[in-house]
């Protein structure tokens, strides 16, 4: 029943968010994934957010580019934790979305993640760590994920050492 929701402002964001979805799925976290826009579909967005807690959603991940108001508008309509993922769209490369997402007024928190490939994955892992505080099985999967990551880096290092002789 416990799950997270990943909202994005446009389907054009999805390809860059797929690693977020894959990370959540890999950790066996149930995830609702929706295209809902603060600007283009404000009514359905607010309806979704207002019903989220009742449907078992515990964290809201919000990805948007450009004038990225999605995470802020969501945070204005819920007491659930909101994670903001700025998208690195042209022509400004995401600095616009980063600032719009991170520079929230006091009293309306959005935990904002980085631009580029790391942001969506880190948002998923952060959500997993929060949920793992009250879910020992998930905590084990999160720990295993971190160990696997360390092993993979060690293998890459070994390959590089072999290549360099
Ligand atoms: C934002 O506008 C979306 O999150 C997307 O990053 C950007 C452009 O959307 P499209 O014009 O590609 O639909 O709201």
Nearest Cα to 108, choosing from 131, 78, 85? Answer: 78
Q: What is the pLDDT of residues 36-63, one digit of tens each?
A: 999 999 999 999 999 999 999 999 999 9
What is the 70 CA–ligand 1 centroid distance (Å)?
A: 11
Contact (CB, 8 A) for 60 and 81: yes
What proportion of the chain, given as a percentage, has pLDDT over 90?
Answer: 99
SS3 68: coil
Q: Where are the alpha helices (DSSP H) in 4-135?
A: 14-26, 42-52, 70-76, 95-102, 118-132
Using the predicted structure, report yes or no on whether residue 2 has a pLDDT greater than 80: no
The pLDDT confidence band at residue 27, using thresholds 50, 70 and 90, is: very high
**Ligand 1: which atom is nearest the Cα of residue 63?**
4
Q: Whose CA is nearest to atom 14 of ligand 1?
A: 9
> How many CB atoms lie under 10 A from the CB of residue 30?
13
Q: Where are the alpha helices (DSSP H) in 53-135?
A: 70-76, 95-102, 118-132
Q: What is the pLDDT of residues 58-88, one digit of tens each?
A: 999 999 999 999 999 999 999 999 999 999 9
Using the predicted structure, report yes or no on whether residue 155 has a pLDDT greater than 90: yes
What's the pLDDT at 1? Answer: 67
What proportion of the chain, given as a percentage, has pLDDT over 70?
Answer: 99
The pLDDT confidence band at residue 119, using thresholds 50, 70 and 90, is: very high
Indicate if ligand 1 lies below 6 Å from the C-beta of 12.
yes
Q: What is the pLDDT of residues 88-99, one digit of tens each?
A: 999 999 999 999
This model's pTM is above 0.75: yes
What is the 139 CA–ligand 1 centroid distance (Å)?
A: 34
Ligand 1 pocket: which of 12, 17, 35, 41 to mutate (most atoms within 8 A of CB)? 12
Ligand 1 pocket: which of 64, 73, 86 to mutate (most atoms within 8 A of CB)? 64
Indicate if ligand 1 lies below 6 Å from the C-beta of 71.
no
């Amino acid at each position: 029943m416990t799950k997270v929701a990943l909202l994005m402002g446009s389907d054009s964001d999805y390809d860059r968010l797929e690693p977020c979805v894959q990370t959540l799925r890999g950790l066996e976290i149930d995830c609702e994934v929706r295209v809902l826009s603060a600007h283009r579909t404000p009514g359905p967005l607010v309806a979704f957010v207002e019903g989220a807690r009742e449907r078992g959603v515990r964290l809201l991940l919000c990805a948007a580019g450009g004038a990225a108001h999605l995470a802020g508008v969501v945070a204005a309509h819920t007491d659930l934790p909101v994670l903001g993922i700025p998208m690195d769209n042209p022509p400004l490369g995401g600095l616009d979305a980063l600032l719009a997402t991170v520079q929230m007024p006091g009293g309306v928190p959005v935990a904002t993640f980085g631009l580029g490939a790391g942001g969506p994955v880190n948002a998923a892992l952060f959500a997993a760590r929060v949920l793992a505080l009250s879910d020992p099985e998930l905590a084990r999967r999160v720990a295993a994920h971190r160990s696997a990551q360390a092993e993979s880096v060690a293998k890459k290092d070994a390959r590089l050492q072999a290549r360099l002789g």
